[in-house]
Amino acid sequence: MKILVIGAGGREHALAWKFAQSRRIQVVYVAPGNGGTASDSRMENIDITDPESLAEFALKENIGITVVGPEAPLSNGIVDDFRAKGLKIFGPTKKAAQLEASKSFAKSFMVRHGIPTAAHETFTDATRAHQYITKKGGPLVVKADGLAAGKGVVVAMTTDEAHTAVDTMLTHNRFGNAGNRVVIEEYLEGEEVSFIVMVDGKNVLPLATSQDHKRLNDNDQGPNTGGMGAYSPARIVTPTLHSRILREIINPAVAGMAKDGIPYTGFLYAGLMIGADGKPRTLEFNCRMGDPETQPILARLRNDFVDVMEHAVGGTLDKVELQWDHRIALGVVLASEGYPDAPTTGHVISGIPKEGEDCVVFHAGTALAQKQFTTTGGRVLCVVGLSDTMRMAQKIAYEAIREIRFDGMQYRRDIGWRAARKPHQ
């Protein structure tokens, strides 16, 4: 079978890598792909990004299944376009993708269906938003309603910071339309977990759990980023908590979408905060897999991914039982100088180790030309180590990183710290 993966990041490299391991694969096309997908003989990059031309390509090449990595094409309706042409594609429709594309949609959806989340109010008027902040007091979280590439959330520890965020979004329009409306919500304390499932319209198939590291610097300091590292599984998610998340969050979300006449298909990613009381609350829904969570998750998946995807687009995910490598997979992101605000690019990368049993490097912002990898974006590589213990997985990933070089390379030295400091790991 021919598979098409849409996107260019580490997540898409991991998706293509997992597909390429299937015995049933002829070729995995990646649009537009990166240096990593360019260097793998089982994959082929295609330089197309507009949905119309992608659908034409899929028809012409007789693509069996298309999988979409990032949120932007999903919220622009690529799934609707492909389906209208009779093409098989895994992802949510434009309407269903609102769960990620509009925070106010997601919040009222959660309230309507009794899904636990932070208390909130939605504002389009700056004066009202300021009054609300003054009344409530800090800490508060201010979120631009629309997609803002991970930059639209301000965790304001003081009311001053919250006022500034409202000014940035509503008054100065820094996020354009995405910030014309803001959600202001209660600050939740606890430990974050990424809970990602596959949904075929009615059946839910949970993937392995994971934890991301959103802040740029060690000890969770510095600005929020797309994610600086992740590991799987998240030990905090005990079997009891796992069932509770399905019962209280995932199942009501999937049933709620169906009830609202917008059946959900695709990956569904619930960003959760687990409180000290053990209660899971939803911070956000994403309508895709996480990046970098996908890299450690798929590094542990044992099943043939083409088989799994066939069930996903065929509505038979209830027939699938996923098998996971028992080891812990830990991925460390190597980012460019200046990331996340203004990454510098165009630097030569050297020393990327060959894939081994316990280490695999996924590319994100890289290009390949004349047998040389160069940097093209903020997040450049994700180095995944696999081992029986968290400490060993860390050791493997960080030892591989020692060999890798590019100008201005920055990364966190403490990926996995929460789990590593706990006993019995």
Residues forming the site for ligand GLY (CB under 6 A): 212, 226-227, 286, 290-291, 293
User: Would you mind telling me the total number of residues written for the chain in this entry?
Assistant: 425
Of 37 and 295, which has the nearer Cβ to ligand GLY?
295
Residue that the structure tokens 């094409």 belong to: 73
Q: Which window, 79-87, 184-192, 300-308, 321-329, contacts ligand AMP (CB under 6 A)?
A: 184-192
Contact 19, 5 (CB under 8 A): yes
Q: Cα–Cα distance between 99 and 75 in angstroms, integer?
A: 9
Tokens representing 91?
């992802």
Whole-number minimum distance, CB 289 to ligand GLY, in Å?
7
187 lies in the binding site for ligand AMP (CB under 6 A): yes
382 lies in the binding site for ligand AMP (CB under 6 A): no
153 lies in the binding site for ligand AMP (CB under 6 A): yes
Task: List, in order, residues 6 or more apart from 423 with CB less than 8 Å away.
Answer: none
**φ and ψ at 79, to 5 degrees?**
-65, -40
Whole-number minimum distance, CB 227 to ligand GLY, in Å?
3
Whole-number minimum distance, CB 365 to ligand AMP, in Å?
21
72 lies in the binding site for ligand AMP (CB under 6 A): no
Whole-number minimum distance, CB 185 to ligand AMP, in Å?
5
Whole-number minimum distance, CB 230 to ligand GLY, in Å?
7
Answer whether the bond into residue 423 is a cis peptide, omega within 30°: no
Whole-number minimum distance, CB 286 to ligand GLY, in Å?
5
Q: Cα–Cα distance between 337 and 333 in angstroms, integer?
A: 13
Say which entry of ligand AMP, ligand GLY, none residue 227 contacts (CB below 5 to 8 A, set by partner kind).
Answer: ligand GLY
Whole-number minimum distance, CB 286 to ligand AMP, in Å?
8
Contacts by residues 307-314 (CB-CB < 8 Å, ≥ 24 positions apart): 307/22, 307/24, 308/198, 308/205, 309/3, 309/19, 309/65, 309/67, 309/90, 310/65, 311/200, 312/90, 312/198, 312/200, 312/205, 312/265, 313/65, 313/88, 313/89, 313/90, 313/200, 314/200
Q: What is the dihedral of CA 101, 105, 107, 109, to 10 degrees?
A: -120
Whole-number minimum distance, CB 221 to ligand AMP, in Å?
13
Say which entry of ligand GLY, ligand AMP, none residue 291 contacts (CB below 5 to 8 A, set by partner kind).
Answer: ligand GLY
Q: Which window, 41-49, 185-193, 255-263, 352-360, contacts ligand AMP (CB under 6 A)?
A: 185-193
Say which entry of ligand GLY, ligand AMP, none residue 290 contacts (CB below 5 to 8 A, set by partner kind).
Answer: ligand GLY
If we measure between CA atoms, which residue out of 55, 33, 54 comes closest to residue 44? Answer: 33
Say which entry of ligand AMP, ligand GLY, none residue 100 contacts (CB below 5 to 8 A, set by partner kind).
Answer: none
Of 15 and 283, which has the nearer Cβ to ligand AMP?
283
From candidates 6, 15, 184, 188, binder to ligand AMP by CB under 6 A: 188
Q: Calculate ∠ Cα 108-111-114, nearest 5°.
A: 145
Report the run of H or E that residue 240 belongs to, with start and end.
Answer: helix 239-245
Say which entry of ligand GLY, ligand AMP, none residue 420 contacts (CB below 5 to 8 A, set by partner kind).
Answer: none
Q: Cα–Cα distance between 393 and 385 in angstroms, integer?
A: 5
Tokens representing 84?
């209208």
181 lies in the binding site for ligand AMP (CB under 6 A): no
Of 160 and 388, which has the nearer Cβ to ligand AMP?
160
Q: For binding to ligand AMP (CB under 6 A), which residues are involved?
A: 118, 141, 143, 153, 155, 185-188, 192, 214, 224, 271, 283-284
